[in-house]
């Protein structure tokens, strides 16, 4: 599994996700989306839910970063928030499992540190990715031992709401890459080929691109608004 992940170095991972309220919500469609991404040159896929990942793996032989997005009333964390979601993902064995690694408390009052150790105790060989929103969160996740440090949540949390990942020539990414011992994956608002190329030049292991490739309603909106 780890050797398969090495093919992602310096390459593109495409996020193929559609939530229940979105027009393309369907495991079948996400499987075809992943196939289209592969044909376009993607060497990895990021996907949401056990069902979508199972379908995607039937269509493409590419490493998968798996997540489960689920809301809990007692927590703001929604990306793979509990062991329930981890167990679901392990049924389809994604090469990497990503979890929210922000400072928010998990459902049931669990801290990130406690949750991380729960996962490691049950699935010691599973590769883990930390979805972070600040440099401090990223470096904490790195110290904990996450295999990959992601910038997925930059701009999506109260502590990062005024931050933009591309600001000052990707200053957040440069700071994380300079200090982290583990590999960094750039994700979040990497919406042009030029940005993707730049973050790889800055030393990230790989780059995840999502909405600008796989959410046609958002792509269409940008064109429509330009003509208003």
Q: β-strands 206-209, 148-150: how paired? A: unpaired
| pLDDT tens figures, 47-71 | 999 999 999 999 999 999 999 999 9
pLDDT at 190 over 80: yes
Mean pLDDT, all residues of the chain: 97
Name the class of domain 2-226: alpha beta
Domain coordinates in residue numbering, the chain: 2-226
| pLDDT tens figures, 96-153 | 999 999 999 999 999 999 999 999 999 999 999 999 999 999 999 999 999 999 999 9
The tokens of 95 are what?
A: 């090469």
Q: What is the pTM of this model?
A: 0.97
| CA dist., res. 143 & res. 58, Å (int) | 35
Please provide residue 131's backbone torsions phi and psi, each rounded to the nearest 5 degrees. Answer: -90, 110
Residues 6+ apart with CB under 8 A from 194: none
Secondary-structure breakdown of the chain: helix, strand, coil percentages, each rounded to the nearest 5 = 45, 20, 35
């Amino acid at each position: 599994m780890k050797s398969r992940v090495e093919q992602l170095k310096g390459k593109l991972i495409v996020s193929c996700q559609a939530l229940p309220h979105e027009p393309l919500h369907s495991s079948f469609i996400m499987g075809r989306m992943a196939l289209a991404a592969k044909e376009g040159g993607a060497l990895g896929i990021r996907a949401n839910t056990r069902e979508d990942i199972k379908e995607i793996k039937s269509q493409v032989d590419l490493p998968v970063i798996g997540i489960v997005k689920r809301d809990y009333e007692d927590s703001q964390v929604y990306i793979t928030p509990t062991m329930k979601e981890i167990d679901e993902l392990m049924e389809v064995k994604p090469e990497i499992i990503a979890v929210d690694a922000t400072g928010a408390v998990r459902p049931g009052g669990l801290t990130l540190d406690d949750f991380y150790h729960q996962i490691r105790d049950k699935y010691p060989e599973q590769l883990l990715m930390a979805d972070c929103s600040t440099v401090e969160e990223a470096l904490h996740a790195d110290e904990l031992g996450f295999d990959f440090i992601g910038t997925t949540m930059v701009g999506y949390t109260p502590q990062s709401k005024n931050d933009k990942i591309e600001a000052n020539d990707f200053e957040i990414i440069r700071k994380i890459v300079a200090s982290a011992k583990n590999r960094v994956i750039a994700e979040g608002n990497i919406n042009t080929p030029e940005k993707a190329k730049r973050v790889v030049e800055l030393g990230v292991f790989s780059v995840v691109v999502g909405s600008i490739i796989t959410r046609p309603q958002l792509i269409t909106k940008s064109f429509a608004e330009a003509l208003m």
